[in-house]
Amino acid sequence: MEDSEDGSNPGRHSVLDRSGSTIHYWIAGPEDGPLVAFTHGATMDHRMFDLQVGPVVDAGYRVLTWDVRGHGRSKPIGMEFTLPAVVEDFLAIVDALGADEVTPVGQSFGGYVSQELAFRYPGRVPALVVVGSTNVTALPSTLEYAALRLSPYVFRVWPYRHLRRTIAKSTAETEPVRRYAHDAASRLSKREFLAVWEAVATCLHAEPGYRFGKPLLLTHGEHDGTGTVARDAPTWAATEPECRYEVVPDAGHNANQDNSEFFNSLLLEFLREHVPV
């Protein structure tokens, strides 16, 4: 394994040039293991899954972590930042690894990326894990949707130094995770942040009657106050026939970091049942 510049050790490092951006990714574990891919949320990076890589590799899985364009080491942000563009980056990495299937684990915006991959390429996703994210194929109420669409304009006038501190404080319950979140967010310029948030605010699309219809682990932190994640999760879970819904105790939006022991146990149990080695 190779250490990344920030000291984490997520696996063998590779890059892929995509539409004006150099996408950095790391692969660990046996080449013949089922591929599990972790996608971070907006303003985070691959390091948010450091506490998951080892246990999942030890269980016999091949593990992919990556920096979404504009985040971490994947610079510059490139020609466009949209949910479909990020999904195609994701799929290009999976193809480069020679994998026919991938089980995505996505947190927050990474949950949108993972869901959208499953929506567009259902035959390649045998199971799905979503952490701290809402349903990308369902729109919120008219008022909430209007607020979401207007949010980029609010962020344009918000002093970026204060915004980064706010993101870090609202993201996590534990101080080490807050420090990580602040550091990760600081690696994006304000221009990059605004491009990312524009994609977040415009990526939802209503697909009446759509169901993933395969094993889905839906989870969020007990104290996740981001948007409508905690409120809407039970309703979403009830629509999916093969959904397991769990709340991570003593955790905020970055639930996999705040309470990694609980989350890892949950994740490994789900993988062993539905994507066995």
Q: What is the pLDDT of residue 9?
A: 66
pTM flag (> 0.85): yes
Q: Which tens digit of pLDDT belongs to each residue from 221-236?
A: 999 999 999 999 999 9
Identify the band that residue 51 occupies on the pLDDT scale cut at 50, 70 and 90. Answer: very high
The domain made up of 12-274 is a member of CATH 3.40.50.1820:
yes
Residue 88: both structure tokens together: 């195609």
User: Does pLDDT of 3 surpass 90?
Assistant: no
Is residue 1 scored above 60 in pLDDT? no
pLDDT of residue 8: 66
Q: Is 255 helix (H, G, I), strand (E, B) or coil?
A: helix
Contact by Cβ (8 Å): 22, 74: yes
Q: What is the pLDDT of residues 243-274, one digit of tens each?
A: 999 999 999 999 999 999 999 999 999 999 99
Collapsing DSSP to helix, strand or coil, 130 comes out as: strand
Taking a C-beta distance cutoff of 8 angstroms, is the pair 37, 23 a contact? no
What's the mean pLDDT when you consider all of the chain?
Answer: 96
**Helices (DSSP H) in the chain: which residue ranges?**
50-58, 83-96, 109-120, 142-157, 160-171, 175-185, 190-202, 229-239, 255-258, 260-274
Residue 219's beta-bridge partner residues? 131, 246
Within 13 Å of residue 271, how many CA atoms lie on the same side as its CB? 28
The ranges assigned to domains in the chain are: 12-274
pLDDT in tens, 149-201: 999 999 999 999 999 999 999 999 999 999 999 999 999 999 999 999 999 99
pLDDT tens digits, 4-38: 556 566 799 999 999 999 999 999 999 999 999 99
Three-state DSSP class for residue 78: coil
Q: Give the range among 1-5, 85-89, 136-140, 219-223 with minimum mean pLDDT.
A: 1-5
Residues 27/97, Cβ–Cβ less than 8 Å? yes
pLDDT at 10: 77
pLDDT tens digit string along 54-86?
999 999 999 999 999 999 999 999 989 999 999
